[in-house]
A and B are shown apart, each in its own frame.
Chain A
Amino acid sequence: MRMLINVPETVVADALRGLAAAHPELNVDVEKRVIVRRDAPVPGQVALVSGGGSGHEPLHGGFVGPGMLAAACPGEIFTSPVPDQMARAAAAVDSGAGVLFIVKNYTGDVLNFDMAAELAEDEGIQVAKVLVDDDVAVTDSLYTAGRRGTGATLFVEKIAGAAAAEGQPLEHVEAVGRRVNDNSRSFGVALSACTTPAKGSPTFDLPDGELELGIGIHGEPGRERRPMMTSGEIADFAVDVILEDLPPRAPVLVLVNGMGATPLLELYGFNAEVQRVLRERGVAVARTLVGNYVTSLDMAGASVTLCQVDEELLRLWDAPVKTPALRWGM
């Protein structure tokens, strides 16, 4: 597998140096692995801190900026960051109004963020946490680690970030984040596995003419393998699985998200099918976002995330945001 890298060991650091060069409005500590908006701490505002394994870009570093995250902590590829990173980030961005950790529900992320919260609280920083677990492909039961955090992370970070930018107190920002997560569901499919730089070969074998349904964002295989389906058939399947779990009661935000190696041409075509299914099921669409936002290295495929919104959540979604990967209204 050919990759545009120097050596596997420096992939994350190299990307951080490049991010720093492209975005002088961010303070990127390449060695300590912390990305902070340069004007932090912002007086009177709750600060959102997120993080997770690398390989999902632009998540999370691409979402640092006014209206979204105050800081992000990238781990090694597909490996959650260590507690020291989040504790350092929390100290850098806390204005005294408190810090909200946005944590994707994976065992490693949860453990490291919990340890970081203890460290930050020892320093007198008030910390709250929103756990993102939107992936309907995983059964939430005693027999799994619970649902994975995937596409809804973008909705939580954007909407809770807007609440923070309005100066809402920590418990409100946390409640908004929880509400977004509770009203979001995702489902993803893979047309090819991804290749981690360290391994150099695909994380699983997917024969020609087949696809994986219900994949996560770490190159892990899905729940089920089927003969290849058309974009329309995939949209029917994905939307129906989501709606089964989230009976439509309100208009939805739609995220049609590329996994990294699927062209925008295909993603927009897929979005047309997703919108058709939603129309057929009587679900009103409030806003739609199409692009590569929560990726899995070079995996081909896509995920669909729906988030049911009320007036407040929609207003916060539309609020100004200025980050490397998401910007409007300012």
Chain B
Amino acid sequence: MLDADFFRRWMTTAAASVGREAERLTALDSAIGDADHGSNLRRGFTAVATALEKETPNTPGGVLILAGRQLISTVGGASGPLYGTLLRRAGKALGDAAEVGEEELAAALRAGVEGVMALGGAAPGDKTMIDALIPAVDALGTGFAAARAAAEEGAAATIPLRARKGRASYLGERSIGHQDPGATSSALLIAALAETAEATEADGE
């Protein structure tokens, strides 16, 4: 079972990973967007890590709701509301449970992804974060490592796509040939989840 501490570690792992990869995200964004995805997400996840240190929510749902709210209040752009909604919706779906199973987490993330799709209006194949998140959630039933691999494959598969949402869509055909920065950061978030699970297993839980 996964407790609040597991979710806290997921978020701090994600913050560290976004911090490490910020320049790569910004470089991807400068090809088809406006060169700020890395710095925006770094600002957001730094705020998430700080908030989780100050307030210590004692349920998995509480951790994700706090993280989502921080992202909405600090990131701006499209990724603030979208990532904020992903985590907040998932957190709400988890409710007040002190511990949740992997299946509940998968269902909650699916609710989060549906929230993102409703808010941003993106569908699979539009070259957005959805293209990494949906395969990841689908694969989560098979395990965390499978979800990570699926997210990374999904992100890489955005390269030949033409963007139909967000700023990259202004480029039309010129958006083809570049990996979507949002799908890439989504894959980082799922990879952080898999890392957290591996570390938990290694600790003998």
A interface residue numbers (CB < 8 A to B):
53, 75-84, 106-108, 111-112, 115, 137-139, 142-145, 148, 196, 198-199, 203-204, 216, 218-221, 223
Contact = CB atoms under 8 A, between A and B. Distances in A.
- Listed residue (B79, B81, B174) with the most chain A CB atoms within 10 angstroms of its CB: B81
Nearest to B26: A199
A72 to B, nearest CB: 14
Interface string B138-179: 000000000000000000000000101111011110100000
A325 to B, nearest CB: 23
Contacts of A82: 72-76, 80
A203 B37 CA distance: 13
27 contacts: A75-B76, A76-B43, A78-B36, A79-B76, A80-B77, A83-B72, A106-B78, A108-B77, A111-B120, A115-B72, A138-B170, A142-B164, A143-B169, A144-B164, A144-B169, A144-B170, A145-B167, A199-B26, A216-B170, A218-B167, A219-B30, A219-B35, A220-B33, A220-B34, A220-B171, A223-B170, A223-B172
B151 to A, nearest CB: 22
Nearest to B79: A108
A221 B170 CA distance: 9
Contacts of B174: 221, 223
Question: Which are the 3 A-B pairs with shortest beta-carbon distances?
Answer: A108-B77, A108-B78, A111-B81
Contacts, number: 107
A238 B161 CA distance: 30
B81 A203 contact: no
Nearest to A52: B76
A75 B172 CA distance: 26
A106 B167 contact: yes
Contacts of A84: 73
B170 A107 contact: no
Nearest to B82: A111
Contacts of A144: 164, 169-170, 172
B78 A111 contact: yes
B170 A79 contact: no
Interface in B155-205: 162, 164-167, 169-172, 174
A80 to B, nearest CB: 5
A107 B80 CA distance: 11
A199 B35 CA distance: 7
Contacts of B172: 139, 144, 223
Given A111-B120, A198-B36, A220 B170 contact: yes
Given A108-B76, A112-B77, A199-B26, 15 more contacts: A76-B43, A79-B75, A80-B78, A82-B72, A107-B78, A108-B78, A111-B82, A112-B80, A143-B164, A144-B170, A196-B34, A196-B36, A216-B170, A219-B30, A223-B171
Nearest to A214: B170
B81 A145 contact: no
A137 B164 CA distance: 15
Contacts of A223: 170-172, 174
B12 interface: no
B59 interface: no
A218 B120 CA distance: 20
Contacts of B58: none
Interface in B54-94: 72-82
B97 interface: no
Given A78-B34, A196-B35, A145 B169 contact: yes
A112 B170 contact: no
